[in-house]
Amino acid sequence: MIAEYGFSAPAELGMTLEEVQTPCLVIDMSALEHNLKTMADQVVGMGVRLRVHAKAHKSVDIAKLQQVIGGACGICCQKVSEAEVFVRAGFRDVLITNEVRQPSKIDRMARLALGGARVLCCVDDLENVAELSEGASKYGVQIECLVEFDCGGGRCGVKSEDEVLKIAIAIEAARNLKFAGIQAYQGKAQHIQVYSERRDAIAISTAQVAEVKVHLETAGLSCDIVGGGGTGTFAFEGGSGVYNELQCGTYALMDADYNRVESAEGVCQPMFKNALFILTSVMSKTKRGIAVCDAGLKTHAVDSGLPKMFERTDVEFIHCADEHGAINDPQDKLCINDQLLLVPGHCDPTCNLHDFFVCMRDHKVEALWPISARGKLL
Ligand SMILES: *Cc1c(COP(=O)(O)O)cnc(C)c1O
């Protein structure tokens, strides 16, 4: 493995955790498998499809596992460049949950469908319909379009059912495009900690989406896909009878921010286990009460809060600089080269910083997975 990837690889197969170079990302394979199977059971129970969001992990290997044991019917990507990685790796059904506007990107997206993959994207502007139609016609391929409805996220998407209908009719009439349904992701509701508040937010958005759907059907347009939902709210969209495709991403790996989101019983996300960790080691211990580790801002994202110590309360991650992490160590327990497992605050931008996942099972490195779509910004 080292030979294959050069010296930048943090580990070799068969190594124990103590032998792995830090800082790096570690996956607990049995926790990952638990999460994928749990979600697969959930969607079967609700009678909806699961189109996993690959932006969370950006890994071809995880997405494949999501299809094989995780019940996924296809994947979501956020960028054309991400979609290119997954289509080239053999994925046949890829939704870009975003608007695609630059002519060069529309061109690249159209080319993705050349090999026969089903390619979908979101639209929230009438003018985009002609642009997409031209791009798809150039290559003689079909692009399927979901009209994005802003159901409370306040990001992309149109706000009224009439606007949705207008765009949907234009898509249906456009050469080489197909109207595929509604994209309605309530991103803001995902991390509402209190269960009843989260449920109420989705009740409001789902009622709006239901009206949009009926409005389209009244005009003779049926929705193959009504998509949305994430790790925090999927049970509400999935049980609504309105949505038929869920787009959960974080559930596979989990992070500290989602650990704070409470279930109906008032406990913090017991359904999914922490499968992703930053492995860091202590590199300086010169002061009482403080240790310094090698996991800084270039190792993990702190936009959703600092990382949490995994299954340890005697020490705490308290501060982050470029390449250093400060750890509160009141009993001065930590020594040089002691390893710590941190649960990242926010998994998506953390994964994007690394080249590899070091996959552990039974205390041994089982696999080294490249983070296939890391850094894909275009
Ligand atoms: C990020 C994202 C998701 C997945 O959300 P998680 O909270 O990671 O499960 C779903 N849909 C869209 C459109 C997203 O951008």
pLDDT in tens, 44-94: 999 999 999 999 999 999 999 999 999 999 999 999 999 999 999 999 999
Ligand 1 pocket mutation pick from 248, 254, 303, 352 by most atoms within 8 angstroms of CB: 248
For 3-41, how does the pLDDT look when each residue is reduced to its tens digit (9 = 90+)? 555 567 999 999 999 999 999 999 999 999 999 999 999
- pLDDT on residue 4: 59
Mean pLDDT estimate for the chain: 97
Residue 217 confidence class, pLDDT cut points 50, 70, 90:
very high
Mutation test of ligand 1: which of 66, 97, 254 has the most ligand atoms closer than 8 Å to its C-beta? Answer: 97
- Substitution candidate for ligand 1 out of 35, 38, 58, 76 with most atoms within 8 A of CB: 76
Cβ of residue 326 lying under 6 Å from some atom of ligand 1: no
Long-range pairs for 116-119 at CB < 8 Å and ≥24 separation?
A: 116/92, 117/87, 117/91, 117/92, 117/93, 118/74, 118/92, 118/93, 118/94, 118/144, 119/83, 119/87, 119/94, 119/143, 119/144
pLDDT of residue 270: 82
Residue 254 CA, ligand 1 centroid: distance in Å? 12
Q: Which two tokens stand for residue 68?
A: 């094989």
This prediction's pTM:
0.97
Q: How far away, in angstroms, is 74 Cα from ligand 1 center?
A: 14
Q: Is the pLDDT of residue 336 over 90?
A: yes
228 with 203: CB under 8 angstroms?
Answer: no
Tens of pLDDT, residue by residue over 101-139, are 999 999 999 999 999 999 999 999 999 999 999 999 999
Residue of 77, 146, 348 lying closest to 231 (CA atoms): 348
Supply the pLDDT for residue 267: 84
Q: What is the mean pLDDT of residues 332-353?
A: 98
Q: Is 304 in the pocket of ligand 1 (CB under 6 A)?
A: no
Q: Which two tokens stand for residue 90?
A: 């053999």
pLDDT at 1: 47
Q: Is 333 exposed, middle or buried (0-12, 13-18, 19+ CB in 10 A)?
A: exposed
Higher pLDDT, 200 or 268: 200
What backbone torsions phi and psi does residue 127 show, to the nearest 5 degrees? -65, -30
What digits encode the pLDDT tens for the residues 229-273?
999 999 999 999 999 999 999 999 999 999 999 999 888 878 999
Q: Ligand 1: does its nearest atom lie under 6 Å from the Cβ of 97?
A: yes
Q: What percent of the chain has pLDDT over 90?
A: 96
pLDDT at 368 over 50: yes
- What's the gap in Å between 72 CA and the centre of ligand 1? 15
Atom of ligand 1 nearest to the CA of 232: 7
Please list the alpha-helical segments (H only) found in the chain: 2-5, 29-46, 60-68, 80-88, 103-112, 126-139, 161-173, 195-218, 234-238, 256-259, 347-351
Tell how far the Cα of 99 is from the centroid of ligand 1, in angstroms: 15
Alpha carbon of 358 to those of 27, 250, 276: distances in Å?
A: 6, 18, 10
Q: What average pLDDT does this structure show over 321-346?
A: 98
Ligand 1 atom having least distance to the Cα of 234: 9
Q: Is the CB of 247 under 6 A from ligand 1?
A: yes
Pocket test for ligand 1, best of 185, 231, 236, 271 (most atoms within 8 A of CB): 185
DSSP for 51-68, please give it.
Answer: EEETTTT--HHHHHHHHH
Task: Give the SS3 label for residue 2.
Answer: helix
Q: How far, in Å, CA of 42 to CA of 46, rounded? A: 6
Give the model's pLDDT for residue 5: 58
Taking residues 202-225, report their average pLDDT: 98
DSSP string, 70-119: S-EEEEEESSHHHHHHHHHTT--EEEEEEE--SHHHHHHHHHHGGGT-EE
Mean pLDDT of 304-319: 98
CA atoms within 13 Å, Cβ hemisphere of 81? 9
